[in-house]
Amino acid sequence: MLKLLKYALYDILKSRFAIIYTVFLALVAISIYQVSDDLSKVSLSLMNIMIMVVPLISAVFATTHFYNNLEFVELMLAQPVKRSQVFLSQLLAVILMLSLSILIGFGLPMLLWGADSSLITLLAVGMILSAVFTGFAFLASVMTRDKAKAIGISLALWIYFSLVYDGFVLYIIYSFADYPLEKATLGLVMLNPVDLGRILMLMQLDISALMGYTGAFFKQFFSSGIGMLVILMVLSIWLVVPIGLSGRIFKKKDF
């Protein structure tokens, strides 16, 4: 497994995409640092990149990568290695590459010009969302034999989670505005990994506003470690379930 991962990683880290992506992130981070007067403005601007652009690029790249590597995967499957190992090595290589790009592209400017806890949270959120959307992309890829269709599914998932879903939640709470909806909203937000990443950031940037909720429940949830723990747990479900599902399909898939 580690051997397969080593070679898969070696290949993907030298790809033109990895370099372009890292440079792109670094340029974005550098320009944001240049125009912002303080760290909180930096994290606000970077946050939009992290929760919008990073999932999009992760989803599209992971899908494309899966299909571009399909013949090689077939060759691997003809070798004496377990299917699950082939699958995981491919998946982990993509996740590690995307995470490393974020870590270098955003991390180096942070080392140079400073970071606060919200920026460090942001790095983590970016890496988690990359992993989650890679999982989605692999699921889409193993579900269909058609590359265009798989990219379509990945894009649809991205649009759904970063835009449509929030609109849907907003519509619901608008329609039921007369009821106490705080807990329901929190529950609904749990059903979207992008929102979870965003809430982790809100807990850094807007804790004062979040504390405006009525009740000890929210005070506990947002200000103690409990909320973060719950969110990370739900995020790991969002990570593990699509990956597990696509792994199962991959195991039974014909190549």
Residues in the site for other proteins, rule: CB under 8 A?
Answer: 3-4, 7-8, 10-12, 14-15, 37-38, 40-41, 44, 47-48, 51-52, 69-72, 74-75, 77-83, 162-163, 166-167, 169-170, 173-174, 177, 180-182, 184-186, 189, 194-195, 198-199, 201-202, 205-215, 219, 223, 252, 254-255
Of the two residues 101 and 162, which places its CB atom closer to other proteins in the complex? 162
Of the two residues 211 and 237, which places its CB atom closer to other proteins in the complex? 211
Q: Which residues contact 44 (CB under 8 A, 6 or more apart)?
A: 205
Give the 3-state secondary structure percentages of the chain, helix then strand then coil, rounded to 5. Answer: 85, 0, 15
Least separation in angstroms between CB 93 and other proteins: 10
- Rounded-to-integer distance, Cα 75 and Cα 57, Å: 27
Of the two residues 113 and 160, which places its CB atom closer to other proteins in the complex? 160
Of the two residues 225 and 252, which places its CB atom closer to other proteins in the complex? 252
Of the two residues 78 and 111, which places its CB atom closer to other proteins in the complex? 78
Phi, psi of 91, deg, nearest 5: -65, -50
Least separation in angstroms between CB 14 and other proteins: 4
- Rounded-to-integer distance, Cα 121 and Cα 214, Å: 26
Residues in the chain: 255
- Rounded-to-integer distance, Cα 199 and Cα 196, Å: 5
Least separation in angstroms between CB 82 and other proteins: 5
Residue 180: CB atoms within 10 Å: 11
